[in-house]
A and B are shown apart, each in its own frame.
Chain A
Amino acid sequence: MLTKQQLNQLYQYSYSLTLNSDDAYDLLQTGLEKYLKKSSQNIQREMAYIRQIIRNQFIDNQRRSNIIAFETIENNDTLAIDTLSLDDLMIAQDQVTIIWDIMNTSEREIIYLWAVEGYSAKQISDETGVSRGTILSKIHRLREKVIAKFTKLDAAGANL
């Protein structure tokens, strides 16, 4: 049986995908039901397995609503040097929500896996089934996006 902490971690992951607490709960519940049906099988890396179910369920839901859940990125985009390129960023805690809200689904997923699960780009690639090159492209774009937003926020702060 999953512990309270594990359920909360999965909820956080679901929330990272949906950015809505009700949708996140529905997604988690559906994912958990699917997992429990299969739980008689010998499943290794249980949490990663459930996240995979949740991810697939989320993509299915988005498809039904004709929404593209994870936009593709060409591999010839500029690549980041692993997740290290995010490590040197500094942020004021009150800016976090703003940054979180401007991220798209795949960026939030990467941030969750990197910040909460402590994954490297390679591990994120393994879990999501997205190539490492694409993950590095996304990280690079995210860094650029975050810096651009910081610049705007800092400029706005200075003008006040």
Chain B
Amino acid sequence: MKNIFKDAMQKHINKIELSSNQLQKLQALQKNNVKTNHKNRIPLFVMVASISLVLIITLLTTQINPLQNRLVAQIADEVAKNHLKLKPLEIRSEQITDVQNYFDKLDFLPISSLQFKQRNQVSLAGGRYCSIKGSTAAQLRYQQKDGKFVTLFQTNYSDMFWGLPDIEKDPNPITTYARGVEITIWIEKGLVMVTAKSND
């Protein structure tokens, strides 16, 4: 008796089967792979994100610190120079409101800094216009009990001052020395504050 060729071939091929032992091995191979994949497979985006994070941290530690150090050194040098020159005051008053009123050409309002008051036992003497890194600034001069002057420079915060510590987030201002003058730098209420104090 003859069958249709296609059916006969199909029947013949379908008889070819894996042994139970071979089948078990192949099933085990798949199971092991699933386990391995679950253990080891890290989504691509996680890998990319991790690598990016490492690169950013590396950049922050290797690139930003030198940039910040250079910025601090430039500010310190400029401010120390101004402090030592002790140019004549343009407004003399012990009242911060008088001094604030004088600085009407600034695009910010000079403030009575809490941070500065906490660190220095001083009284206001007056102020004058100046600049820090080309940015118009207010120079407030204070006098200590021993007669020495402490200068507080204030200018509006801009991107060029990025990286300086904001006192609301970091209570430790940067302290350094330039031209023998102690310089302290921080950001307070959106203003860049720099004090210059001669210790000797």
Contacts and interface: CB of A to CB of B under 8 A. Distances in A.
Is chain B a partner of chain A in the same complex?
yes
Contact of B5 (A24, A32, A33, A87): A87
Chain A interface SS verdict (over half) = helix
Interface string A22-34: 0011001100110
A142 B134 CA distance: 90
A90 B33 contact: no
Interface stretch (A9-17, A68-76, A128-136): A9-17
Given A12-B13, A25-B18, A90-B3, A96 B8 contact: yes
B147 to A, nearest CB: 77
A97 B2 contact: no
Contact-residue bracket for chain A? 35 or more
Chain B interface SS verdict (over half) = helix
Interface residues of B, number: 29
B12 interface: yes
A110 to B, nearest CB: 10
Contacts of A33: 29
B2 A92 contact: yes
B37 interface: yes
A36 B29 CA distance: 9
14 contacts: A2-B26, A12-B13, A12-B14, A15-B13, A24-B16, A25-B22, A32-B26, A36-B30, A86-B6, A90-B3, A91-B4, A96-B9, A97-B12, A114-B6
Interface of B: 1-14, 16-18, 22-23, 25-27, 29-31, 33-34, 37, 41
